[in-house]
Amino acid sequence: MKKLGTYLLLATVLVGCQTVLVGCQSADPVQKASPELQRQYNAAFQEMLKDPGNLDAVMAYAKVATKTGDYEGAVGAYESLLLVDSNLPRVRLELGILYYRLKSYETSRIYLESALASPALPADIRKPAELLLAKMPKQSKSQRT
């Protein structure tokens, strides 16, 4: 069962990476989403704007933004939670995965390592996070612009 969870998480990340690669060709992934997903996205964003202190609204927006491929939007929402309390390993894990999807590996590594450093991170998601960290490409000079 744990292996299944591991594969699910890795598959999620890899599919996300493909979305990023496709997303690089289109300026805005939200505009490429289905009308229904766009509606959900816009509704979630408006709800968060209307009631920014509502944790459910922030979480809902982060989730639909991730689903839509707007990883920047999801990052912004999760980062706001870390401003309230930096000791949220699950949120750090989410950020680690999102930055990985954006190929922002150094930032991803920081968030994954800090999530894993927390004893509060449940064991069943610790292993996939460790695997993702192990797969992390190291930035080389060849990537420089």
Partner 1 sequence: MSKSNVVILLLLRTLLVGAAGLALFSTAHAQGRIGVTQATQNKPMGQPPGGVDRVLRVGTDVQANEIISTAADDRAHLVFLDGTTLTVGPSSQLTIDKFVYDPTTQKGELAVNATKGVFRLIGGRISKTSAITVTTPAATMGIRGGMAAFSVATGGATITVSLFGVITVTAGGVTQTMTVPGLQVSTSTGGTPAAPTIVTQGSLSAALGALVGNSTATAATLTAIQTLVASNLGNPVTLQALIQAIIVANTATPITTTTTTTTLAVITVVENPNQTQASPN
Asked whether position 94 contacts partner 1 by CB under 8 A, the answer is yes
Task: Annotate 50-101 with DSSP letters as a single string.
Answer: H-TT-HHHHHHHHHHHHHHT-HHHHHHHHHHHHHH-S--HHHHHHHHHHHHH
Smallest distance from the beta carbon of 115 to partner 1, in angstroms? 11
Does position 67 bind partner 1 by CB under 8 A? yes
Q: Segment 24-53, which members bind partner 1 (CB under 8 A)?
A: 27-28, 30-31, 45, 48-49, 51-53
Return the half-sphere exposure (C-beta side, CA atoms, 13 A cut-off) of residue 14.
10
| Residue 80 vs residues 30, 106, 122, 144: alpha-carbon distances, Å | 21, 20, 22, 30
Contact set with partner 1 (CB under 8 A): 4-5, 8-9, 12, 27-28, 30-31, 45, 48-49, 51-56, 58-59, 62-63, 66-67, 70, 72-77, 79-88, 90-91, 93-94, 97-99, 102-107, 109-110, 122, 124-125, 139, 141, 143-145
